[in-house]
Amino acid sequence: MREGTANCIDILLAIILPPLGVFLKFGCEVEFWICLVLTLLGYIPGIIYAIYAITKRPSLVFDPLLCSRLLLALALFSSVLWSY
């Protein structure tokens, strides 16, 4: 897949669900957590930051096992919050 196509898909994901687009590019780095907090505070700031991070910053190598554990914990936490 060409870099332009991958970047376009990342931007579309960033518009639909900002933390997911950033996670796929950076993993569980600080960019993901900033985007998650901004999205929780307001959807539009999360989108703006996600598009900025995807287009302006180089991607990093991340540990998929650690990130999958963190995302599982986050999913469980959010499901508990939404159940109330």
Predicted confidence at residue 21, as pLDDT, reads 86
pLDDT of residue 1: 47
Per-residue confidence in pLDDT tens, the chain, 84 aa = 455 666 777 788 888 888 988 888 888 888 889 999 999 998 899 999 999 888 886 655 556 666 677 677 777 777 766 666
* Three-state SS sequence of the chain: CCHHHHHHHHHHHHHHCHHHHHHHHHCCCHHHHHHHHHHHHCHHHHHHHHHHHHHHCCCCCCCHHHHHHHHHHHHHHHHHHHHC
Q: Which domain holds residue 30?
A: 3-83
pLDDT recorded at residue 61 = 54
Number of domains in the chain: 1
- What is the reported pTM? 0.63
